[in-house]
Amino acid sequence: MKNRILLIIVLAFFLAGCGKLKGNFAFKKTNEDVYRKINTPLEFEKNEKINWVYVFSSNIDASYTIIVTLLKKELVWVDLSSRAEQISASSKIIYGNIENLSDGTYRIVLSNMDRIIAEREFEIFSEEEEYYEYDSQ
């Protein structure tokens, strides 16, 4: 019985610790000097290179492996790329960039041990406008 109670306490501390990984995304275009937090829907032109960061605002007491995944919305969300990043008390920032993507809806997802920490959706669009000819008769 004591082993079960101890296991429940350890599990509760573990789950509480994972839930504390919080922070904010910020973005910057190539010609900008600083990253900006943007709360409105994100839209970027196809030919732009966008740098992004995720800064963990919570106290990090250990080293964590964070999985960074880029998804594209098709009929379902399709995994385009994934990579692992390490964060710790001395390194609380994850960097990435958005470039060479086709038109569409995308999502950056940060996760740890099958738990989503943060996600941010954005649109990529072409600068080209479609022109239609109308018959005036």
At residue 11, the pLDDT reads 45
Quote the tokens at residue 45.
């032109």
At residue 6, the pLDDT reads 46
Q: Are strands 42-45 and 115-125 parallel, antiparallel or unpaired?
A: parallel
100 Rama class: left (phi>0) / alpha (psi -120 to 50) / beta: left
- What does the pLDDT average to over 9-32? 71
**pLDDT single digits (tens) 51-92:** 999 999 878 888 999 999 999 999 999 999 999 999 998 999
**pLDDT single digits (tens) 24-33:** 999 999 899 9
Residue 64 and residue 61: Cα distance in Å, rounded?
A: 9
Cα 32 from chain centre: 20
* CATH class, range 22-125: mainly beta
At residue 57, the pLDDT reads 87
Q: How many CB atoms lie within 10 A of CB 52?
A: 19
Domain positions in the chain: 22-125
Quote the tokens at residue 119.
């996600």
pTM: 0.77
- What does the pLDDT average to over 6-22? 53
